[in-house]
Amino acid sequence: MGRSCTSMNLWSAVAAIMLILCAPRVVRPDEHRFGPTRIYKTWQGFTTADGLPDDNILAIHVEGDEVWLGTEGGLARYQGDEWRAWTREDGLPWPAISAIDIHPRNRDVWLGSWGGGLIRLSGGRFDHFDQLNSGLAGNLVFAVAVVDDQVWVATNGGLSVLDTNTNRWDIHFERRADTTETAITSLSATDRFIYAAISCGGVMRFDRLSGGWTNVVAPWHKVEGEDRRAPDTTLEVAAHERSLWWVTQDAVAHRLVNNRWVVRQLDDLGQSDRFINCLASRGNREAWLGTQRGLITLVDGTDSFSVDYHPIDQGNTWEATIRQDGAILGREPIFPGPPGDRVRCIAFQGDDIWVGTSAGLAHGTRHGKNLVQLETENESSGTKGPRSAPVIPRLKPETKTPESIPIAVLRPDDRTISLEGEQRSRKARFGQQDRLAVALAIDEANARGGFRGKTPFQLVTGPQGAFDGWGWTTPEDDFVSAANQLNAWGIVGYLGRDHRLATTVATRTEVPIVNFSKARMSVDERISPWIFRCQGNEPRRHRMLLDHLFDRLGFTRVAAVAGRTEDQQLNWWRDYARTRGFPLVAEMAIGPNGDISASGWKALEGCDAEVVLTWCDASLSAGILRHMRKSGMNQLFVGSEEILDDAFIKLAGTEPGSVLTVARPMTDESRPPSRYFIEAYTKRYGRVPPANAFPAFEGTNHLLQAIESAGLKRDAIRKRLAEMGCTATGERHSEAHRDGTSEFTPLRLLEGRWVRDDR
């Protein structure tokens, strides 16, 4: 009996020990190697008030005790707690400095510029290299790397290499007219290899011993479950002797010592609302990602710990959120935080970190007193909370109103080389029509008093004159020229799926762009917070309409009728309805004469649809509605903004039934915009406008309204465009209308008039 009790006690003890050992252990933030003691809680900010030439920081390079800074307005160096700045007045050939590196022996400073080529600072003198006076492949420089006596320059036209001993240039991955767009967006060098990130083309590795290039294949997850794919757009690459970091807009891949890849999407880190702007890595185990809303630190490529630095109010209060597998483990308050949350570049100086934002420079340290220490000190002194710190200016003071407000109009297709007297291309003719429509909108705004009743708007074009068909520069150069040289406060332009590089450059330039294209968006446009679609053409507004039908009204069976020129809307409806889990139950195309075949009507009548969704003009919409009601089809009819016309109400008959549309913000609903535009264009130019001209007119009006409301700050203009409902294509989720941040207003027809649909 005793042996039995002893045996039971022994097994009970063993079971208890095993239970303790096998029980899941909750990891506290302070128990992990990246706990609060390793979080950067002490930040110092620098702006133009401290001596910077500009608050928009484009590049950082650390060399010993020196910190070199490239800004939109010039070059700066920080040493011994003092700033030294160089601008155009000091002989700097180009103000926007986008890349910096220093020769290890002669200390020459090599500068990449955003639109002006390559610059060398040597002995107090500036030397300038561009496409016309050197072997530089492009004037937009993404990165510069000095390796021994060679200067490697990543540009929008390819990769150029200058041998400083022989002054000989070499070009790799040269951009050609018969190949896909090529731009080198990042460089990273180790003792033996040089890695080059190619926009739309992955990563290439150059072996300095053999002199050959090889392709680096990275495993990227396909969104819809296919095996692997190369990333759509490569942003940056960071190489070390034993590992490689590689980022796209929404994912980061880390190649470990054993050549195994670890891939993490921002969605997996709980950051589905962000996009990556830049990358910096500290060795093989730590990477920092700059986003449009703060910083993300990845700790060790083999686990899923991350730290997210982001602002939590409109002042200088930030928070560090520690996550594992997307789940929050803890939060740490930070005050004051960096001066801005749109991070453009990152560099390390020992344990310190330097962060460049669009509103100033931030210097983060680990060894400063953290918030807990400050609270303890304040408690002993009888005060509550952390001691007050000076609030760092977040934005430059608004400049004086200029003599005019430049608005640029650009169409990349029209910046081509042609011979004198050669007939203009069809795209060039479209470009001229776009320009006339933009000019009409600007002239009408000026007739109303211009910007805030005082300053006229001014139409500006590229350096050689838009749509003239001349110029050796690439299309994206005009976006930079419009923003930096012509000082445009916004751009109205045409960006299609083939303009991926121009879209990438336009986004990095950070100027609001209203895209009046109806083409399906490229991946680069989808992730850009600076590119907007006209409200009638914007895919997001169509997604919001479907969300209203599915979520607010409870419908699940939607049939779609495509107008003669509205096949793109049909593509948006089809794709998004499938994503929401309610695929279209029927699709019907309207013939070239505006008619619908008998078989088409039969299919529409027999699909058991709850909603018939169309996007046609007022006359055609009324005809479809009359036929539906005559055939006994009483489903909800949804039409475009065109049916707000009084003519539609008359043509629809006395019993139109249930009809729904979407209001167009900031327009006179009693007079449809397209109808007014046709009248005004015809009166002004003596001919009827082509169909492609109205989106340019509409987009210009939205841009002018945003500038009028927001004032002369580009970021404020961008935010106002989003608030107006002309939402940035970079928004990854269609949630704005649900929380009231977007002017999405559904209207229903009730007793011959339009009323808000609040159901």
Specify which of 142-151, 505-514, 590-599 reaches the highest per-range mean pLDDT: 142-151
| Cα torsion 631, 634, 639, 645: sign | positive
Tell me what pLDDT residue 232 has: 56
Q: Residues 198, 184: contact at Cβ < 8 Å?
A: yes
Residue 726: which pLDDT band, with cuts at 50, 70 and 90? low
Per the model's pLDDT, the better-predicted residue between 214 and 324 turns out to be 214
Q: Residues 303, 262: contact at Cβ < 8 Å?
A: no
Tell me what pLDDT residue 16 has: 47
Name the 3-class secondary structure at 308. strand
Tell me what pLDDT residue 14 has: 43
The answer on pLDDT for 30 being more than 60 is: no
The answer on pLDDT for 285 being more than 90 is: no
Q: How many CB atoms lie within 10 A of CB 348?
A: 17
Per the model's pLDDT, the better-predicted residue between 68 and 742 turns out to be 68
Residue 478: which pLDDT band, with cuts at 50, 70 and 90? confident
Specify which of 23-32, 361-370, 635-644, 664-673 reaches the highest per-range mean pLDDT: 635-644
Tell me what pLDDT residue 300 has: 63
Average pLDDT over residues 340-365: 95
Q: Residues 407, 490: contact at Cβ < 8 Å?
A: yes
Tell me what pLDDT residue 231 has: 47
Q: Residues 363, 351: contact at Cβ < 8 Å?
A: no
CA pair distance 549, 536, nearest whole angstrom:
18
What's the predicted TM-score (pTM) here?
0.74
Tell me what pLDDT residue 469 has: 33
Percent of the chain with pLDDT over 70: 75
Average pLDDT over residues 26-30: 36
For the stretch 440-479, what's the b/e string if a residue is b when 16 or more beta carbons lie within 10 angstroms of its beta carbon?
bbbebbbeeebbeeebebbbbbbeeebbbbebebbbbbbb
Query: 53-62, 323-332, 357-366, 417-426: which has the minimum mean pLDDT?
Result: 417-426
Query: 83-92, 174-183, 578-587: which has the minimum mean pLDDT?
Result: 174-183
Tell me what pLDDT residue 619 has: 85
The answer on pLDDT for 85 being more than 90 is: yes
Average pLDDT over residues 56-69: 96
Average pLDDT over residues 217-232: 46
Query: 241-255, 318-332, 339-353, 722-736: which has the minimum mean pLDDT?
Result: 722-736
The answer on pLDDT for 94 being more than 90 is: yes
Average pLDDT over residues 43-48: 96
Q: Find residue 129's DSSP bridge partners.
A: 118
The answer on pLDDT for 710 being more than 90 is: yes
Average pLDDT over residues 718-747: 58
Tell me what pLDDT residue 179 has: 58
- Which amino acid appears at position 420 of this protein? E
Average pLDDT over residues 627-641: 91
CA distances (Å), origin 158, targets 198, 504, 506, 528: 9, 15, 18, 23
Query: 78-87, 207-216, 571-580, 732-741: which has the minimum mean pLDDT?
Result: 732-741
Residue 56: which pLDDT band, with cuts at 50, 70 and 90? very high
The answer on pLDDT for 423 being more than 60 is: no
Tell me what pLDDT residue 57 has: 97
Tell me what pLDDT residue 217 has: 74
CA pair distance 264, 267, nearest whole angstrom:
8
Per the model's pLDDT, the better-predicted residue between 519 and 606 turns out to be 606
132-141: pLDDT as tens digits: 999 999 999 9
Average pLDDT, the chain: 79
503-517: pLDDT as tens digits: 888 888 889 999 888
662-702: pLDDT as tens digits: 876 544 444 455 778 888 999 999 998 886 788 889 889 99
Q: Residues 544, 734: contact at Cβ < 8 Å?
A: yes
The answer on pLDDT for 586 being more than 60 is: yes
CA pair distance 317, 297, nearest whole angstrom:
19
Residue 87: which pLDDT band, with cuts at 50, 70 and 90? very high
Q: What share of the chain is helix, strand, coil (3-state, %, to 5)?
A: 25, 30, 45
Average pLDDT over residues 71-88: 95
636 sits in which H/E element: strand 636-638
Residue 422: which pLDDT band, with cuts at 50, 70 and 90? very low
Q: Find residue 279's DSSP bridge partners.
A: 289
Tell me what pLDDT residue 732 has: 36
The answer on pLDDT for 227 being more than 70 is: no
Specify which of 317-331, 386-400, 441-455 reaches the highest per-range mean pLDDT: 441-455
CA pair distance 492, 507, nearest whole angstrom:
14
Tell me what pLDDT residue 260 has: 82
| Nearest in space to 91 (alpha carbons), one of 41, 65, 125, 57 | 125
Average pLDDT over residues 143-149: 96
Average pLDDT over residues 624-644: 90
Query: 91-105, 108-122, 208-222, 376-390: which has the minimum mean pLDDT?
Result: 376-390
